[in-house]
Structure 1
Amino acid sequence: MKTVQIELPFSQPIAEAYIKRNHPGIEALFGSHPAEEAHWHRRLNWLKAHADKRVEPERLAEVLLAYNKRMNDHPAVMANIEAIRSGAPVVVTGQQAGLWTGPLLVIHKAVTAIAAAKDAARLTGTEIVPVFWIAGEDHDWDEANHAFIRSGEAELTRIAVPRPKGGRTSVSRTKLERAELSDSLKRLSASLPDTNFKRELLETLEGFAARCDDLSDWFALAMGWLFGKYGLVLLDSDHPDIRALEAPMFVQLLHRNDELESAYMRAAGALRELGYEPSADVAENCANVFLFEEDERTLLYKQDGDFRNRKETFRISREELLRIAEQEPQRLSNNVLTRPLMQDYLLPVLGAVLGNGEISYWTLTGEAFRCLGMEMPLIIPRMSYTLVEGATEKQMDKYGLSFADVMTRYESHRAAWLKERDELDIESRFEEARTQFETIYNPVMGMSASIEKGLEALAANNLRRIQDQISYLEKRTKEAHARRFEAALRQQDGVALALWPNGQPQERVLNMTDFWNRSGSAWLEKLLDAPYDRSGGHHLIYF
C-alpha cells in the first residue's frame, strides 16, 4: 500500500502547539503526552489505584453488553466487553451521530482508537479496549442529519433528513418516521453511480433502517457493521441505562458546581496568559449541565442559589435539580466541559482520541479534573487521512496535479492550464482592445467636457459602460474557449472534488457511502492498515 505523509494547515493553534510539542505551557495543561512511553505506564497505574472513582466494571459491562447485543453483536465486541468487566482500560473516542456515520473524520476517529488500543496494549502489556462514545445527547440536528456524496464526475450532492416538528431535544430522542428514512435512501440510490457494490450497500442500510427510529441507532448499526469485527465497543451517551450509571457524577457536578466553574475560569485565564484564546465558551454562572424539560434540551445557569435557562423563562431549585440527578438522571446531560469528566467517571480511560478542536477545548478541563480528585487521561491526536483512488491518481498524473496544487491553489492551477491552451491569447487581445479604445476615446471625452462641463461625467460613465461590455464579451469568449476543453476540465474538477471538496479536507465533507459504493470494503481495510503515530498526522492513502 502506497502512503505519503503530509501536513495539513492547522486551524487550531492550541492543538498545533500540543501536537508539535513546541510550547511547554500548553503541554503542562494536559499533564502528559502520548509520545512519552512513561506517561502510558503512569496513567495505567493511576487507573488501577483509583478504581473507586469510577463506575464498577461489572455494572458498566452489563449496560454495554445489553446495548451492543442490539447494535453491534460481534464476537470480538462481546469479548472486549468481558475484558472491561475484568478491569481492562479503554481508549475512547466519539462523535455526534451522523447520517450513515457522517463525514469521514468519524471513521478516522474509530480507526485511530482501534490502532491506539493495539499500540497501547503492546506498550503496556495489558489488554486495552477501543470504545466509541456516540454523543447522542447532542441536539445539533443540522450537523447530524446530512451526508455529502459525489453523484457524478464532478458533482457533490447533499442528502439530509429533515428535523421533525417539536423542540430541540437530543438526536437520540428525535424520533423519525420510517418514510423519512426510506426517502433518504431513495435519494442516496438515485445519486450514487451504479457499481458492483451499490446494491449490497443500500440493502444493508435499508436493513438497519427497519430496526431503528432515530439517527443515533442508525449510526450505531452502521458503525457496528464497519467496525464490529475489530472489537470496537459502542455506547450511546443518551441511553437511559448509561444515564443511570452516571447519576452519582451528576450529583457531584451539581454539588461542586461553583468549584468547577472557578476551575474552568482559572484554566481559561491560564490559556490567555500563554497567549491563546479559549476555544470553548466559559461563561460566568454557567452550570455546564443541560436539563431535558419537556421536549427541549436546556443549558442551565445559576442564579440566587437556583438554576435557570439563558432567557430566564424557566427556573428550578437546587434541591429539585439534585433530586432529578439522583432519581431521574435521564433528564440531565453534559456539555463540552463536563463530558470529559463524565466519560472518565464512566469508563477506565487510558487515552482519549480527539480531533484538533476537541484538543483545544480539553485544555480547559485539567483544573476541573483535579478539582474532583481525578486526572486527565492521555490525549491522543486523531489520525487524519485522504483516500486517493486509482482513477483519481491517474488524472492527477495526466494533468500534473499534486495534492498541494489541489489543496492550496487549484483554481489558479486550473486557470493556468487553460491559459496554456489559449492559442489566440484571448486575455491579452481584449486588454489591447480596452487600451486602444481608451486611447481613441479620451480625446473625445476631453472635447465634450470643453464644450460643456456637465458632459464630463456623462462621457466617463459612457466609457465605463463600453468597458463593461468589452469585459462581458471577454468573459463569454473565455467560457466558449473553456467549453472546448470541457471534458478535461471536468476530470480535473473531479480530482479536486475527490481530494478537497468544497475547499475543505475530504474527511470533513465526504461520507463513507461514497467510497463503499465505489470499492466495497477496500477503502476501510486500507485505513485500518495505514500507518499510526501516537502524535497524529495526515497520510494520503493510495488504493
Structure 2
Amino acid sequence: MLEYIPYGKTGYFNQLVIDFLAEHTQIRPFYTYSPVHPDFSAAIQARQNFDTPRAALVAALQQQYELLEPVKEVTENIQALLQPNTFTVCTAHQPNIFTGYLYFVYKILQTVKLCASLKEQYPEYHFVPVYYMGSEDNDLEELGSIYLEGKTLAWHTHQQGAVGRMQPEGLEALIGEIKKALGYAPHAASLISLLQQAYLEHDNIQAATLSLVHALFGKYGLVVLVPDNPDLKRLYLPVIKDELFNQVSHRIVNDTVEKLSVYYKVQANPREINLFYLQDGLRERIVQEGEQWKVLHTSLTFTATSLEQELQAHPERFSPNVILRGMFQESILPNIAFIGGGGEIAYWLELQTLFAHYQVPYPVVLLRNSLLLTDEASQQRMAKLGITTTELFKPTEDIVNDFVKRHTNAALVLKDEYAAIEQLFDALEEKARSIDITLVASTASERTQALKSIGKLEHKFLRAEKKKFTWQTDQIRQVKNKLFPAGSLQERKENFMPWYAQEGPAFFDRILEALTPVTDQFIIQTRC
C-alpha cells in the first residue's frame, strides 16, 4: 500500500528544497529544467550538441569491469554508450561502507526506473542508469559507519586520504557483527557472502563498493563509474588547467552564491582553487602563493612549469571538489538527468553559470525519492491508537499531546480562561489610564504574568492527564522511534541490510515498484 505526503508538509526538508519543487520565482533562475515537469526532449537535444568522449568512457568502464563477473545487462549498457542515441541518467554517492544509508538504494533504483520511463517516452533512444562513485571523498567519519538494529557500527582505521583508496583492513570484524545482527533471516547468509566477497577479496574500498553494487544492482543494468582514473581525468585537463592557472570557477560561482544567499543558506562556498591533490593516504587542497602552488599540510610545491608537467604525467592526482565534480561527471557522461538529495540539489543550483561558461550541458536536476517503509505490526498499533502514518511526521510530543486532547474528558485547553484574563485586563487597563497613564505599563506587565500563569497551569493539566494514558503514549513513542530512529527520517539513519536479509532481491523489486521517478511527494510504503 502506498500513501503520499507533499515534501513541504513532512517537516524534514528545508525551504530551498520546498521552493525548488514549487519552482518559486526566486529560485527558478538557478536551474535549467523544471524538477516536476522536466523537458527531457530539450535535455536530449542539448546533449546531442555536445561532443561526449564516448570511446574513452567505454574503454575506461571496460577496464574497470574486467575482473568482475559479467552481467549481460551491464555489458550491453556499457557497449551501448558508444552509440550517439544512448544517454545516461546519473546519481552520485560516496563509497560508504556497506552502502551506508537506506537512501543509497533509493537513489540507484530511482535512476533505474527513470531510465525505463524515458525508454517508454522516447523509444528511439537508449538510456543507461549510472552510479557515479564519489570515491575521492576523504570524510571517513561520515563514510566509515552504519546504523544497524539500533546500534552504530564504526570502522576504526588510521588510514587517511581518499576513502575509496583505503584498504579494507579491519572490516572482517564488522562483517562478523553484521552477521550477528542479521541472525538467521532467510537471506542473511547470502548477503554476508556478498559482503565478504566484496570487502575481503578486493584491495581497496572503491573496488569493494564496485563489486558489491554490481552484485546487488547489476541485473538492472546499472553501470558504476569510478572517476579515480587517469584516462578519465585526462579528459578534464582543460578545466583543471584553467582552474589552476586562472581560477575561473571562484569568480563565476561566487557571483551565483551572492545572489542565492539572499534567500537561502549556501551549501558550498567556492575556493580560489577548487581542486585537491590526491595520492594514496593524501587528499589536500591546492593553493597558490605568488608564483608557486602548494599542497596544504605537506612540503609539496610546484612552479608553473613543474605543475604543467605533473598535470600531463599524473592527471589522476588532481581531484575536483564539490564545485567542479558535477561538471566533470557531465563532461565524461552523455548525461541528461542527475538525481540527488537536498544537499546535492543545493550545490547544483550554484553551478549553472559555470556550466554555461565551459559550454557543458546542464542536466535535468531531480530530487531523489524519499520513502518511509512501515510494517504491518506498526500499522496495527497505529490503527488501535487512531493515528495516521502522516501524523508520525510531527514531533513526538505533539503527537502525544494531540492524542491526549482527543481522548480526554477534561478541558485541557483553557481558551475560556485566557479570554477571561484578557477581558479583565482590558478593563483594568482602562481604569489605570483614567487614574494615571504611567500605570498602563504596569498593568500590561501584570497581564503578561497572568497569561504565563494560565499557560503553566495548562501544561500541568496536560502532564497530569497524560498519566492516565501511559500505555497509549508509550505505544506512540515506540512506533515513532521504530519508524523515525533517533528522531531522523528512517532513510537517513538505517541501512538496507535488515530488509534485504528478510526479503532478498525482492526487496529491491518492491522498492522499484513504489518509486516515482519525477515527483514532489514523499512516499510511504506499507508492507502487508
Q: Calculate the TM-score normalised by the size of structure 2.
A: 0.81
Whole-Å separation in 1 of the counterparts to 2:398 and 2:203: 47
Structure 1 residue 134, shift from structure 2 partner: 0.8
Deviation of the 1:304 alpha carbon: 1.8
Q: Is the 8 A contact 1:259 1:371 kept in 2?
A: no
Q: What is the TM-score when the length of structure 1 is the normalising length?
A: 0.79
Which residue is equivalent to 2:429?
A: none
Q: 2:91 is matched with which residue?
A: 93
SS at match of 1:383: coil
Matches within 5 A, 1:128-143: 128-143=127-142
CA–CA distance in structure 2, aligned partners of residues 298 and 43 of structure 1 = 35
Amino acid at match of 1:15: V
Amino acid at match of 1:271: L
Say yes or no: does 1:397 pair with 2:387.
no
Mapping for residues 111-190 of structure 1, pairs under 5 Å = 111-125=109-123, 126-150=125-149, 156-163=150-157, 165-166=158-159, 168-177=160-169, 180-190=170-180
Deviation at 1:3, TM superposition (A): 3.8
Give 1:105 shift. Answer: 1.2
Report what 1:268 is aligned to. 257
State how 1:477-492 maps to structure 2 within 5 Å.
492=476
Report the counterpart of residue 445 of structure 2 in structure 1: none
Amino acid at match of 2:154: A
- Match of residue 353, structure 1, among 339, 350, 353: 339
Partner of 1:197: 187
C-alpha offsets along residues 477-497 of structure 1, whole Å, 9 cap, x if unaligned?
A: x9xx89995xx8776555223
CA-to-aligned-CA distance 1:356-393 (integer Å, 9 cap, x gap): 11111112111211221223111122111111122322
Q: Structure 1 499/77 Cα, relative in aligned 2: closer, same or farther at 3 Å?
A: same
Stretches (4+) displaced over 6 A: 415-423, 481-484
Distance 1:66 1:359 in 2: 31
CA distance 1:250–1:295, change in 2 (3 Å): same
Deviations 1:377-414 (A, max 9, x none): 11122111111122322232233343344322324545
**Residues 101-153 of structure 1, C-alpha deviations (whole Å, 9 max, x = no match):** 11011111101111222223333331111100010010001111111122xxx
Tell me, which stretches of 5 or more residues in structure 1 are unaligned?
151-155, 424-473
Distance 2:189 2:475 in 1: 26
Q: Which amino acid aligns with 2:136?
A: E
Contact 1:248-1:326 at 8 Å conserved across structures: no
Q: Map Cα deviations across residues 193-251 of structure 1 (whole Å, 9 max, x no partner).
A: 53222222222222323322433233222222221111110012224454344445433
Partners of 2:115 and 2:108 lie apart in 1 by 11
Q: Which ranges in structure 2 are unaligned for 5 or more consecutive residues?
A: 410-459
Q: Offset of 1:416 from its aligned partner?
A: 7.7
TM-superposed CA distance for 1:336, in Å, is: 0.4
Deviation at 1:158, TM superposition (A): 0.9
Q: Does 1:281 align with 2:241?
A: no
The structural deviation recorded for 1:84 is 0.6
Q: 2: distance between equivalents of 1:115 and 1:81?
A: 18
Work out whether residues 30 and 352 of structure 2, in 8 Å CA contact, stay in contact via their aligned partners in 1: yes
CA distance in 1: counterparts of 2:468 and 2:311, whole angstroms: 65
Residues of 2 paired with 1:224 and 1:530: CA distance? 22
How do residues 74-85 of structure 1 correspond to structure 2 at under 5 angstroms? 74-85=71-82
Match of 1:532 in 2: 516
Change (3 A) 1:401 1:202: farther
Number of aligned residue pairs: give it. Answer: 469
| Match in the other structure for 1:208 | 198
- Structure 1 residues 415 and 16 mapped into 2: Cα distance closer, same or farther (>3 Å)? closer
Q: Secondary structure at the match of 2:486?
A: helix
Q: Which residue of 1 aligns with 2:24?
A: 22
Paired residue for 2:312, among 321, 326, 333?
326
Contact 2:252 2:354 in 1 (8 A): yes
Contact 1:10 1:16 in 2 (8 A): no
Answer whether contact 1:220 1:234 (CA < 8 A) is retained.
yes
Give 1:83 deviation, angstroms.
Answer: 1.1
Structure 2: distance between partners of 1:324 and 1:199? 47
Hey, what's the Cα distance between the residues in 1 that align with 2:2 and 2:15?
30
| Contact 1:384/1:536 (<8 A) preserved | no
User: Which residue identity is paired with 1:227?
Assistant: F
Per-residue deviation, 1:90: 0.6
The answer to whether the 8 Å contact 1:12/1:360 transfers is no
Change in Cα spacing, 1:280 to 1:394, as seen in structure 2 (3 Å) is: same
Mark the CA change 1:69 to 1:507 in structure 2 (over 3 Å): closer, same or farther.
farther
Contact 1:209 1:218 in 2 (8 A): yes
Q: Which amino acid aligns with 1:132?
A: Y
Is the partner of 2:370 in helix, strand or coil? strand
Aligned amino acid, residue 275 of structure 2: V
C-alpha distance 312-379 of structure 1, shift in aligned 2 (>3 A) = same
Specify the code of the residue in structure 2 equivalent to 1:266: D
Do the aligned partners of 1:100 and 1:512 also contact (CA within 8 Å) in 2? no
Whether the 8 Å CA contact 1:260–1:371 is kept in 2: the answer is no
Rounded to whole Å, the distance in 2 between the matches of 1:277 and 1:351 is 25
